[in-house]
Structure 1
């Protein structure tokens, strides 16, 4: 089958279309005919070697599609089911058919288009798990550093739905978007802490960072309790600062709950670009260059 991936660790020049065999589902796996696949920053980081996959490998961490085969030790799924979920080992989704981890898969109803379902496991799933990790109650204030990005957009929506006040750090071009989802937008750069204090005079109860580097270091001091400091963008630095990474709950229950929120219009995954698989290279370049507001989806 035709797939898009990389031949060895490196830059975009290592990407290309591959001719690979259709995989057989192993224990705890589903094989699906892909209807839509999400594009994430983790895809170019995988190509660069951040996750230890040397290649050749097919890119793509999340998909929606139709089950064509079921591996052993799988309950609750059958051939013909419409599902969405995460790919084992964070690879394999940008193809005509892909493996999905059954324990991190859920049924997709007609109320949730495949293009929306395909982007829930990574970004929205991370947003959900971050809020659960932080354990904030209604009335608390959360600072989201990078509120206009792929994870920032769902975390703002989920936090607001749970009664949490959100201060969203974002570039000025994304302030209307962030405010539209109920957050108080503030800009990056000199004077950030003053702007945050003006937006949240009572202080912030937690920080969720999606930027890393000096931007993370700048906002870390806003919380004295470093158990309330999370980052998925800079794991070494957040640990150095006394915070932690997000502990993921890659489960069917989480995905089912997120899909229900999408169906009820309580969560907008913000899919802004749908491209054919033929344009996978261009789609990944858009995400890698940071030129996309919202989520990009590939359709075989």
Structure 2
């Protein structure tokens, strides 16, 4: 039977385990995909800890971790068009991504460009998709000033690169340890932590046209007054606080069209996926610990074919 990495109860890392699971069978509109790589995201451990989005029902237990993957189509369900057995794809699986075989709705899958590595394609649905959707939502013109709060993480790093490609002036908050990384992406680095608003104000004395938040909480409250208009605030981390401040959550469009666009942009070199560490599937727990502790730079990916740890 295929193997998956699951959590057996709501709680801490002690609830995690590898488990054998039945190979899924694709239903109408679904693809059966053999996973080659899966992205690791903060939402993975947050769901295990019971932190769900408003209105989101807890999954049946045991639940498979993960929300994005890339792999090869093994079978297609009734009514699927545009995909066939053997196609290389990436997308958002139903029922978790840390598994050797997953089901992906055809409407939430895209063909992997040949130029992209599996480990890069695997992080496009969440990190690149969120960055792309957020910038479309803001709709800032070239020359505008954007603050990316949390520029050193997976979503933030891609948001910085896409924003620079669109001609925006970008300021990125991140820890001092990530200064060189954020600067290399094309942003003006501002150290996060107490007093961050004063440092951002010094970097953007005329104010901000947009705030792409990936941190939430008190840092978001501190930075929001720097915006010229409250509606220029979007967040992928704290919808409640953003709403209080006149902003909104990022509206995701998990479609073949959006995923195909970010795949093309990545293949063309418009942005790097900022994958900084690749771990074998056998080290899924280690990957989650690194993300849960919050000190990662860029993205961590699980490689289902790699026996050894790789660093980038």
Report the counterpart of residue 252 of structure 2 in structure 1: 248
* 2:157 paired with 1:157: no
Report the counterpart of residue 10 of structure 1 in structure 2: 11
Report the counterpart of residue 70 of structure 2 in structure 1: 64
Report the counterpart of residue 127 of structure 2 in structure 1: 123
8 Å CA contact retained: 2:9, 2:61: yes
TM-score (normalizing by structure 1): 0.96
TM-score (normalizing by structure 2): 0.93
Report the counterpart of residue 309 of structure 2 in structure 1: none
> 1:206-250 deviations in whole A, cap 9, x for unaligned?
111111110111011112422211111112211122211000111
Runs of 4+ in 1 over 4 A off after TM superposition: none
Question: Which of the numbers 79, 90, 93 marks the counterpart of 1:87?
Answer: 93
Quote the Cα distance in structure 2 between the aligned partners of 1:37 and 1:160.
27
After superposition, residues 13-92 of structure 1 pair within 5 angstroms as 13-51=14-52, 52-88=58-94, 91-92=95-96
In the comparison of the two structures, how many residue pairs are matched? 298
Quote the Cα distance in structure 2 between the aligned partners of 1:25 and 1:240.
42
**Unmatched segments (≥5 aa) in structure 2:** 53-57, 305-312
8 Å CA contact retained: 1:230, 1:246: yes
State the Cα distance separating 1:54 from its structure 2 match. 4.6
Quote the Cα distance in structure 2 between the aligned partners of 1:168 and 1:62.
25
- Three-state SS of the structure 1 residue aligned to 2:154 is coil
Quote the Cα distance in structure 2 between the aligned partners of 1:157 and 1:210.
15
> 1:3-43 deviations in whole A, cap 9, x for unaligned?
10111111111110111101111222111011111110010
State the Cα distance separating 1:50 from its structure 2 match. 2.2
State the Cα distance separating 1:191 from its structure 2 match. 3.3
Report the counterpart of residue 307 of structure 2 in structure 1: none
> 1:240-280 deviations in whole A, cap 9, x for unaligned?
22211000111111111111122122110011111111111
8 Å CA contact retained: 2:196, 2:219: no
